[in-house]
Structure formats: structure tokens, C-alpha cells
């Protein structure tokens, strides 16, 4: 059994097929198949059900891959420990779209400048999806809205508090309450943690909105509002100008309601040199 077989097993399960795993690690489909077969022979058990297409991982494979992830992570840290290099290796980062469009690119640029040997993979998704990928080991860190409640095995690292504002066409009259209750309302996706928090806060204040749309993208919401199709509630993202050309913005709540943005990571991860360097850049 060797470290390459561990990497291949992880790739097959993460990518969903032998062919996709081959593309991921730069090996042919047949080479992937041979490595998995050799691993099965050494262990004396089947790791994949080949009666279905693509071959499906058995419960034994799913148990082994959790161990393989830990083995590979320890192996990759060996050079860092021996040579004293603080940051070296591959970091898999997940981020919600609002973070990708605001402060994350600058942090990644800083990280790359100070640690040119660090390889960074970036994936986008909703907060709940990123948390699930983190828990199963497909990500090293997720930058997202704070979860509604603590999540088993995950730790939270605070980065920023982003106030929320009500945006409306610039010629729309009225205060916050009038804007929200007298105009068509565009939801920021309520399946996201931030969208769910907005909905809960509206309910707690007894504010009923006339919802007409529900959108994932803040840029799209801003454009729709600018075209006079309604009002919405959006965060003032860290690292972006707190101005809204062609729009009127008023605080949501008094004091303004805020969302916490930060990093979700495995509970033991803060001691990892890669994670430490990334959090410093953020």
C-alpha cells in the first residue's frame, strides 16, 4: 500500500468515477483501475461494486477514504516539519459568491505573493453545501456566513460583520418600513444562511413583504432593483464600495442588522500552517 494509491482512492470517490479521477490526478483510466485493483488485492476485499456503472464505492471504501485523507494530510506535512517551511502544499478553499466578489480575491493575491509555493484550489457554492464538503474532507476551509447553530466537528473563525441595507430605486420615497411593505420585494435566496436570517428578522419585526422574485446573485438583485422591479435587502460586503449607483440604500434595522462572515474549518485545523497563513491573509 502506498501514498499514491491513497490519493487515487480519494480522487475516485470525490470525482465519482475512475475516468474523472484520472483526469483529476493526471493518470489514464486504466492506470487508475490497476492501482485500485492492486489495493483491493492487498487488502483482500472489494472496494468498488463493478456490477454498476460507474463502479460504486462499497461501505469499506467509504470507511477507508476517511482514513486515507488523514494519511495524505500527514504525509504532505512531512516536508514542512523537517525543513521548517511554514507554508507549502495545496489548500482547497470553498467560498460563497458574495465573498468571491468582495474580499477573497485580495486575500488570495496576498497569500500567493508571500507563499509562491502554495497551490490554491477555489470552489464556489452555498454555505450549507460548503459545510457539507468540509465535513467529508473535500475542502480544507470554507468562507461563508456564520451557521445558524454550531456544527459538529467544525470550528468558526470570525472575519467580518457586514451590515445589511434596504436598496430601492433612487427616486423611491419612504422610510425603511414603507420601502419594504409598499413595494414588490426581491428575496436574496432564503435557502442560504444569510437569506434565512433576513427572513427570520423580518418575521420577528412583523414586517410582511410582497415577494415577487427570489435570486441567488447579489449583482442580479442590484440590477433588478435599479430597473425598478422591486426593493431588496442585501449585505454591504467587506472590501466593496458602500455605494449603490442609481439606487437608494437605507439601513435594515436600528441598529442595522448584520451578518457575520468568517471561516468554517475542521476543529483541529487552526494549528495547520496552511490554514494559519490563509487566516492571516484574510
Q: What is the pLDDT of residues 12-60, one digit of tens each?
A: 999 899 999 988 888 898 999 999 999 999 999 999 999 988 889 999 9
In Å, how far from its chain's centre is CA 273? Answer: 20
Q: Which residues share a beta bridge with 164? A: 235
Residue range 181-214, pLDDT digits in tens? 999 999 999 988 899 999 999 999 999 999 999 9
Dist CA 62 CA 64 (whole Å) = 5
Rounded to an integer, the average pLDDT of 73-79 is 73
Instruction: Please state the rounded mean pLDDT for residues 85-94.
Output: 74
Taking phi over 0 as left and psi of -120 to 50 as alpha, with beta for the rest, 246 belongs to left
Fold of the domain built from segment(s) 3-82: Arc Repressor Mutant, subunit A (1.10.10)
Q: How far apart are CA 163 and CA 85, in angstroms?
A: 39
CATH tag for 161-259 (out of 3.40.50.2020, 3.20.20.70, 3.30.590.10, 3.40.190.10): 3.40.190.10
pLDDT of residue 276: 83
Domain boundaries, the chain: 3-82, 88-160+261-281, 161-259
pTM: 0.68
Write down the pLDDT at residue 136.
85
Report pLDDT for 101: 87
Is the pLDDT at 118 greater than 90? The verdict is: no
Provide DSSP, 232-274.
Answer: EEEE--TTS-S--TTEEEEESTTTTPEEEEEEEEETTGGGSHH
CA atoms of 138 and 136, how far apart (whole Å): 6
pLDDT of residue 152: 86
> How far is the C-alpha of 14 from the C-alpha of 224, rounded, in Å?
37
Amino acid at each position: 500500500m502506498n501514498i499514491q494509491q491513497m490519493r487515487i482512492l480519494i480522487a475516485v470517490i470525490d470525482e465519482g468515477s475512475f475516468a474523472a479521477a484520472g483526469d483529476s490526478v493526471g493518470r489514464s483510466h486504466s492506470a487508475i483501475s490497476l492501482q485500485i485493483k492492486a489495493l483491493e488485492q492487498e487488502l483482500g476485499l472489494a472496494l468498488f461494486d463493478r456490477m454498476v456503472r460507474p463502479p460504486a464505492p462499497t461501505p469499506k471504501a467509504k470507511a477507508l477514504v476517511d482514513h486515507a485523507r488523514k494519511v495524505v494530510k500527514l504525509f504532505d506535512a512531512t516536508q514542512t516539519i523537517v525543513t521548517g517551511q511554514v507554508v507549502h502544499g495545496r489548500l482547497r478553499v470553498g467560498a460563497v459568491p458574495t465573498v468571491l466578489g468582495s474580499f477573497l480575491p485580495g486575500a488570495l493575491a496576498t497569500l500567493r505573493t508571500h507563499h509562491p509555493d502554495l497551490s490554491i484550489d477555489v470552489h464556489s457554492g452555498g454555505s450549507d453545501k460548503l459545510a457539507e464538503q468540509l465535513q467529508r474532507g473535500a475542502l480544507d476551509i470554507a468562507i461563508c456566513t456564520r451557521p445558524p447553530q454550531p456544527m459538529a466537528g467544525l470550528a468558526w473563525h470570525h472575519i467580518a460583520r457586514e451590515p445589511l441595507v434596504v436598496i430601492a430605486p433612487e427616486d423611491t420615497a419612504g422610510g425603511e418600513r414603507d420601502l419594504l411593505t409598499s413595494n414588490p420585494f426581491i428575496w436574496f435566496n432564503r435557502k442560504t444562511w444569510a437569506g434565512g436570517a433576513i427572513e427570520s428578522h423580518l418575521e420577528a419585526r412583523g414586517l410582511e413583504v410582497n415577494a415577487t422574485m427570489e435570486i441567488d446573485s447579489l449583482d442580479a438583485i442590484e440590477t433588478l432593483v435599479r430597473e425598478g422591479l422591486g426593493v431588496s435587502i442585501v449585505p454591504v460586503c467587506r472590501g466593496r464600495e458602500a455605494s449603490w449607483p442609481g439606487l437608494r440604500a437605507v439601513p435594515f434595522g436600528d441598529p442595522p442588522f448584520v451578518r457575520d462572515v468568517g471561516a468554517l474549518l475542521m476543529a483541529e485545523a487552526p494549528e495547520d500552517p496552511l490554514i494559519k497563513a490563509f487566516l492571516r491573509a484574510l
